[in-house]
Amino acid sequence: MQQIDIHKLADQARFNRFHAGVLAWCAVIIICDGYDLAVAGIALPSIMKSMGVTAQNAGFMVSSALFGMMFGAIFLGTVADRIGRPRAIGICLALFSVFTAAAGLTHDPYAFSAMRFLAGLGIGGVMPNVVAQMTEYSPRKIRSTMVTLMFSGYAVGGMLAALLGKGMIEAYGWSSVFLAAGAPVVLIPFILKSLPESMPFLIRRNRLGELKSILARMEPGYRAHDDHRYTVAAHDRAEGAPIRKLFQDGRGFSTAMFWIAFFMCLFMVYALSSWLTKLMAGAGYSFGSALTFVLVLNFGAVIGAIGGGWLADRFHIKHVLIGMYSLAAVSITLLGYKVPTEVLYLLVGLAGASTIGTQIVTYAYAGQFYPAAVRSTGIGWASGVGRSGAILAPIVIGTLVGMALPLQQNFVAIAIPAVIAVIAVSLIRHGRSASAAAAKPAAGATATA
């Protein structure tokens, strides 16, 4: 009887139509997710005017989705390891599509906030699942590149929200861009049919016919035989509580460090997203110029994500992240100083690359760190804990802005988390969690003809 290591097959497979299909579907899902996340900010001035809410209430309305994202990342990331990834992704897509559309039908801030919270469950929950999906089915040599390329769809979704929002809000009102967000719900049947299930999940459920079909498409050179026994490493089996497994086999300390890194990075991302326009306007730039800085920030994010993924496939991803977080600390700090406009645009682009782009690479790192059986759980908890940083950032930086501090001190406050993240990533350890456990193959299942 011959044992077949399914993850070794996935690691060594050559990129083909199967991989392109997984990448395309995951990218489409992320674009839809990015649209839903960005649409509230695009429409916020119109919403405030229509509902007659204050800036303080508007801030609560926006943050309600962030609270939902925190719970969604933790709960739906964990659930995926039990019900299967395509189902979990379908649930997330239904949540953020249906409830974002429902928010467009509300007429008061409380109902709007409730709908955005429910939408946030799906927005946050889909992230750990698509990362786990891309990580499992990407060839090892280009794994980081594929994950970060997929995640660049967030910027595409944000740009789509901006482009549609300008025309649709003027012509049909702010509700129209929210109602448009309901369209992706029609994709759910195609996603359930097209996205492959997690391979360890199929082995645990003894769905070997489906597994063999996936292996044949993933690695066309593989031929299944009756005596093949499909196995995963012992650390890829989900026995007992998956959450507990995040702290087993020497992963506990590193799990805490991932949580700190996610918290700090998302703090920087949402501090810049929320306050860059206001800070630049306060520094004497016109409102139009300040909005241009936001576009440059997101353009830099795409470059940082793809470039960071490319570097991570050629050097150790941990060292790449340390460099990117260090760049964030320097570039954000320098934003507070008077420099030529061209240099300022460059610094804003670097800030986008080293915050939003770095967050995407950090997702890729977490996906590679955790074994397949708890990958969605590990990413989900890191993302969920990190969301508390996203929630705190607009409040903390808003308080500092209200204190009328010098511009330099505001940007230093945003840059400090990058230094903490450098320390956290430096302390992540790759101990016996993978190597020692991998030496003990799990009990597989015997394939039948």
Complete DSSP assignment for 95-154: HHHHHHHHHTT--SHHHHHHHHHHHHHHHHHHHHHHHHHHHHHS-GGGHHHHHHHHHTHH
In a domain, 131, yes or no: yes
DSSP 3-state assignment of 54?
A: coil
In a domain, 422, yes or no: yes
In a domain, 179, yes or no: yes
Res 436: pLDDT = 36
Question: Which string of b and e fits 19-49 if b means at least 16 CB within 10 Å?
Answer: beebbebbbbbbbbbbbbbbbbbbbbebbbe
| Contacts by residues 210-215 (CB-CB < 8 Å, ≥ 24 positions apart) | 211/6, 211/447, 212/447, 215/4, 215/6, 215/9
| Cα radius of gyration (the chain) | 22
- Give the model confidence (pLDDT) of 195-241 as tens digits: 998 888 888 888 888 888 888 888 887 776 766 776 665 555 554 45
Give the separation between CA 301 and CA 288, rounded to whole angstroms.
Answer: 20
- Give the model confidence (pLDDT) of 32-72 as tens digits: 888 887 787 677 778 878 888 775 677 677 778 888 888 88
Q: How many domains does the chain have?
A: 1
Indicate the pairing of strand 228-231 with strand 445-446: antiparallel
Res 260: pLDDT = 95
Q: Is 383 exposed, middle or buried (0-12, 13-18, 19+ CB in 10 A)?
A: buried
154 Cβ contact list (under 8 Å, min separation 6):
30, 31, 33, 34, 37, 301, 356, 360
In a domain, 55, yes or no: yes
Res 315: pLDDT = 87
**Residue of 39, 94, 46 whose CA lies nearest to 62:** 39
CATH number, position 294: 1.20.1250.20
**For residues 82-104, average pLDDT:** 91
Res 291: pLDDT = 58
Residue 300 has pLDDT above 70, yes or no: yes
Higher pLDDT, 258 or 401: 258
In a domain, 30, yes or no: yes
β-sheet bridge partners, residue 3: 229
- DSSP state, residue 372: G
Residue 114 has pLDDT above 70, yes or no: yes
**Residue of 347, 363, 337, 362 whose CA lies nearest to 300:** 347
Residue 445 has pLDDT above 70, yes or no: no
Give the pLDDT band of residue 448 (cuts 50, 70, 90): very low
DSSP 3-state assignment of 249?
A: coil
Higher pLDDT, 84 or 278: 84
Give the separation between CA 86 and CA 76, rounded to whole angstroms.
Answer: 12
Q: In the predicted model, what is the mean pLDDT of the chain?
A: 81
Indicate the pairing of strand 445-446 with strand 2-5: unpaired
Residue 313 has pLDDT above 60, yes or no: yes
Residue 442 has pLDDT above 50, yes or no: no
In a domain, 109, yes or no: yes
**Residue of 161, 151, 423 whose CA lies nearest to 301:** 151
**Residue of 339, 311, 337, 333 whose CA lies nearest to 414:** 333
Q: Is 326 exposed, middle or buried (0-12, 13-18, 19+ CB in 10 A)?
A: middle
Higher pLDDT, 23 or 296: 23
Which one of 169-173, 313-317, 440-444 scores highest in mean pLDDT?
A: 313-317
**For residues 347-374, average pLDDT:** 86
Residue with tokens 């003990």: 440
Contact 373, 245 (CB under 8 A): yes
**Percentage of the chain with pLDDT > 70?**
86
Structure tokens at 207: 């769905």
Could you tell me the end-to-end alpha-carbon distance of the chain, in angstroms, rounded to an integer? 14
- Give the model confidence (pLDDT) of 331-346 as tens digits: 999 988 888 888 888 9
- Give the model confidence (pLDDT) of 361-385 as tens digits: 898 888 888 887 677 778 888 888 8
Res 23: pLDDT = 93
Res 340: pLDDT = 85
Q: Worst-scoring range by mean pLDDT, 81-90, 253-262, 415-424? A: 81-90
Give the pLDDT band of residue 351 (cuts 50, 70, 90): very high
Side-chain-facing half-sphere of 113: CA atoms under 13 Å = 15
Domain enclosing residue 305, as ranges:
2-194+243-435
Residue with tokens 């097209």: 194
Indicate the pairing of strand 228-231 with strand 2-5: parallel
Structure tokens at 155: 């910027």
In a domain, 317, yes or no: yes
Higher pLDDT, 48 or 440: 48
In a domain, 12, yes or no: yes
**For residues 173-184, average pLDDT:** 90
Give the separation between CA 437 and CA 374, rounded to whole angstroms.
Answer: 14
